[in-house]
């Protein structure tokens, strides 16, 4: 590469293990619990076909021409009104930036706020795509200690000492990727109070908030501290990811900078996709779509919970056995394997058995995954059917039993059993 | 902004004058020659409506699901085959990265190759969007001296001395934005030979190459030096910009890094847009679309040429009078106003007369536009109808005559007349 001299930021980028995995997952017969791919059967394809016909007949010039970098005015209005109804009562359309998926929102935030060597605080573990989006901008990632309710306010308060100049804390309060955990009301209050006390801005990523299966989540962090929080949302999980549309809401002073970064990055997001999504929303498609999605994914979640209990419940002795919790929403179970196992090494046997998952260590900042973190696994329940989930988890049990047997430790059937904790099973990670 | 601590790269970004202008251009009655907006009547809306119906009926899951960061395999194959037919005989689909408009390709190149303080060589003037895309990555822009045929090989050869460590030269050989000039065959050979001699990689941006009105342009630079050139193309000018689809072709060693940057930036480009464009291409829509576009824009170009000759031909005495050339393709005339005028100051009067253009100084690296550059103006001829072009140029003539009169210098009717040079009228800028 002597001709092409790479930037330092490029040298920091790494290929995604998830991406390499997803390639393997295309093999026939593979039952993948790896990617967070929404169920394709849930996409509102017929409604889209109908609005595409209308939009391309009635507004072809607007839907196919260059558009404003901010996004389509009507769509920004819809997002603002929607968020006001979710408790973010002060949001105006002028604060809404339409992005090419919420992944782009993360990239823009990295571009505008991250600095070479300056700390960024992230949950441990956190969304891998966010770590990848921020990495080129050279931050020093600082993990925030978490428990089953999410990041610990007391640990946030130590950031001025251990990470002076920290630019923001990146948080996923609703059904976090990868752990599936929900930040309860009291913890939200504690986190916002701590952030305000130390003057640390928050970036709140909420792709999964609408996918609740038991009860709606508490109000967003951004509702409690609008001037100190950037909020990210997405149409990927509630309509379809292939449209690549998301949005962010930023305080006015920051909005202009993010808008400039957006313009420099891709001028604007697809005019056609924005017109289609606005037409869907105006037809009130979400009113049918959301309850149907929740019902579908609730069944899948329950199927995975039952399969895990059946196949892994007796595997290893607690607290050294398999542990997980039933997520209240989102797309993922977070599993802790019996002591001594390494999820990354198990993945090879899993792929040989035609199943796939993501080793939990992927979601930790490089170099921070110890033996406890290397026992973790993320399982998606939204792509496979309940019958496929049964079969995939059955194969996972076979793989785990073989690995334990190879260690000379058979399953301790019936001993203390697998522990399924009340709400969350995220191991305490720091 | 004490709470939100901006990155240095964000502080380097500036709001685009073009963007602010385009807002004014939405006023009713405005005849804008500012933006390079393709004629909306030319969009293949009916063909898109037909393929949208089919794609959403036959392949809804694939068209709406997450996709590969590289892009849709069939679309990458199409691009590779198309470019091989254009003389880039060694291109394979594995080198093609589908981007969210070619603007995103520029951002990815900045991310992967530009470095804080390291030189990037650009034509003077150059595409404003490229300067904006690269700016956040902190390069030191180094202008390359140009004549009517484009950048000068001899000036390129001085880069190792005056800009050591230069990362690449960014060039637009076909109907350059903003000057409209075409780099002839001999100059292409000279530029590639010079670049090879000093080991300077090239980034070749070709959004306008298909929009030729007299004869097809010579083979791309990338055809002559594949391992040393990244090539950027776009569907924005030949199909519709609102789809936000472009592509880049990179040597294999660089491709993987650009792909990682793409994944971090927005995961992938719209699956739906990619399926729609591939379906259009497979229906051979371009076979009809391209000749129709060329015919339409040729008429518009000829209308602007005639109007300029009629309205500005007698304005000021050569070489101090109005100068321009008839572009052989693309979207723009590049006008040099009579000596003493300042295009940025004239814009206010123009807007008052309900016409708009972009002052040429916008396209020069900050701080490099002297009095000669401040006399330049970019006029787009692709958005307005020929009748509107007539009227817009008539108003421009009125504005210019008033400005000259205010200077105490009336038009020297018929003196030496406006000079319309043979092919190009780019003033020599360095």
pLDDT in tens, B219-246: 999 999 999 999 999 999 999 999 999 9
Show residues of chain A in contact with B267, CB under 8 Å.
101, 103, 129, 244
Query: What pLDDT does residue A4 have?
Result: 85
Q: Which residue of B has its CA nearest to A6?
A: B113
Is the CB of B4 less than 8 angstroms away from the CB of A60?
no
Is the CB of A271 less than 8 angstroms away from the CB of B7?
no
Min CA distance, A105 vs chain B (Å)?
8
The residue among A324, A310, A304 whose CA lies nearest residue A419 is A324
Is the CB of B111 less than 8 angstroms away from the CB of A256?
no
Answer yes or no: are the C-beta atoms of A382 and A38 closer than 8 Å: yes
For residue B8, count CB atoms less than 10 angstroms from its CB and return exposed for 0-12, middle for 13-18, buried for 19 or more. exposed
pLDDT in tens, A80-123: 999 999 999 999 999 999 999 999 999 999 999 999 999 999 99
- The torsion angle over the Cα atoms of residues B419, B423, B429 and B430, rounded to 10 degrees, is -160
- Rounded distance between C-alpha atoms, residue A34 and residue A18, angstroms: 8
Residue with tokens 């823009």: A108
Min CA distance, A358 vs chain B (Å)?
17
Question: How many beta-carbon contacts under 8 Å exist across A and B?
Answer: 265
Query: What pLDDT does residue A427 have?
Result: 28
Is the CB of B19 less than 8 angstroms away from the CB of A263?
yes
Query: What pLDDT does residue B19 have?
Result: 60
Q: Which segments of chain A have a pLDDT < 50?
A: 1, 412-430
Show residues of chain A in contact with B67, CB under 8 Å.
242
pLDDT in tens, B164-209: 999 999 999 999 999 999 999 999 999 999 999 999 999 999 999 9
Query: What pLDDT does residue A407 have?
Result: 82
Query: What pLDDT does residue A28 have?
Result: 84
The structure tokens listed for B96 are: 């093609």
The predicted model scores a pTM of 0.92
pLDDT in tens, B311-324: 998 776 556 789 99
Query: What pLDDT does residue A2 have?
Result: 72
What number of H helices and E strands is found in chain A?
Answer: 15, 16
Show residues of chain A in contact with B268, CB under 8 Å.
244
pLDDT in tens, B36-51: 899 999 999 999 999 9
Is the CB of B113 less than 8 angstroms away from the CB of A53?
no
Query: What pLDDT does residue A270 have?
Result: 97
Show residues of chain B in contact with A101, CB under 8 Å.
266-267
Residue with tokens 């800028």: B429
Is the CB of A266 less than 8 angstroms away from the CB of B101?
yes
State the CB neighbour count (10 A cutoff) for residue B317: 18
Is the CB of A113 less than 8 angstroms away from the CB of B241?
no
Q: Which residue of A has its CA nearest to B245?
A: A270
The residue among A286, A296, A291 whose CA lies nearest residue A216 is A291
The structure tokens listed for B57 are: 């009926």
Is the CB of A64 less than 8 angstroms away from the CB of B52?
no
Q: Which residue of A has its CA nearest to B108?
A: A265
**Quick one: chain B helix, strand, coil %, rounded to 5?**
45, 15, 40
Mutation target among B14, B22, B66, B108 for the A interface, most CBs of A within 10 A: B66
Answer yes or no: are the C-beta atoms of B315 and B336 closer than 8 Å: no
- Rounded distance between C-alpha atoms, residue B332 and residue B237, angstroms: 13
State the CB neighbour count (10 A cutoff) for residue B17: 16
């Amino acid at each position: 590469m002597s001709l092409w001299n790479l930037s330092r930021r490029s040298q920091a980028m790494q290929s995604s293990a998830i991406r390499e995995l997803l390639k393997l997952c295309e093999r026939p017969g593979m039952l993948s619990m790896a990617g967070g791919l929404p169920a394709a059967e849930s996409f509102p394809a017929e409604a889209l076909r109908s609005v595409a016909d209308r939009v391309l007949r009635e507004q072809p010039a607007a839907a196919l021409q260059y558009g404003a970098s901010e996004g389509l005015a009507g769509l920004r209005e819809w997002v603002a009104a929607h968020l006001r109804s979710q408790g973010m009562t002060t949001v105006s359309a002028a604060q809404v930036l339409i992005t090419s998926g919420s992944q782009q929102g993360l990239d823009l935030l990295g571009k505008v706020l991250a600095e070479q060597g300056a700390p960024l605080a992230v949950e441990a573990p956190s969304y891998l795509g966010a770590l990848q989006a921020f990495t080129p901008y050279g931050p020093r990632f600082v993990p925030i200690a978490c428990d089953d309710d999410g990041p610990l306010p007391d640990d946030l308060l130590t950031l001025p000492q251990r990470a002076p100049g920290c630019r923001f804390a990146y948080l996923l309060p609703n059904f976090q990727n990868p752990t599936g955990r929900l930040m309860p009301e009291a913890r939200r209050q504690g986190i916002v109070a701590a952030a305000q006390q130390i003057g640390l801005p928050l970036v709140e990523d909420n792709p999964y908030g609408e996918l609740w299966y038991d009860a709606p989540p508490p109000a967003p962090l951004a509702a409690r501290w609008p001037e100190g929080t950037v909020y990210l949302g997405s149409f990927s999980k509630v309509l379809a990811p292939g449209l690549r549309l998301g949005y962010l809401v930023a305080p006015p002073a920051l909005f202009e900078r993010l808008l400039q970064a957006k313009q420099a990055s891709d001028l604007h997001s697809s005019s056609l996709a924005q017109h289609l999504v606005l037409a869907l929303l105006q037809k009130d498609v979400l009113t049918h779509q959301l309850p149907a999605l929740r019902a579908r994914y609730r069944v899948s979640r329950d199927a995975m919970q039952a399969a895990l209990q059946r196949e892994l419940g007796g595997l290893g002795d607690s607290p050294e056995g398999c542990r997980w919790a039933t997520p209240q929403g989102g797309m993922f179970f977070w599993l802790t394997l019996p002591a001594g196992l390494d999820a990354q090494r198990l993945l090879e046997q899993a792929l040989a058995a035609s199943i796939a998952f993501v080793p939990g260590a992927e979601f930790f900042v490089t170099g921070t995954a110890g033996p406890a973190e290397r026992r973790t696994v993320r399982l998606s329940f939204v792509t496979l059917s309940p019958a496929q989930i049964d079969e995939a988890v059955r194969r996972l049990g076979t793989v785990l039993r073989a690995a334990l047997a190879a260690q000379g430790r058979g399953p301790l059937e019936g001993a203390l059993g697998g522990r399924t904790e009340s709400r969350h099973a995220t191991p305490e990670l720091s």
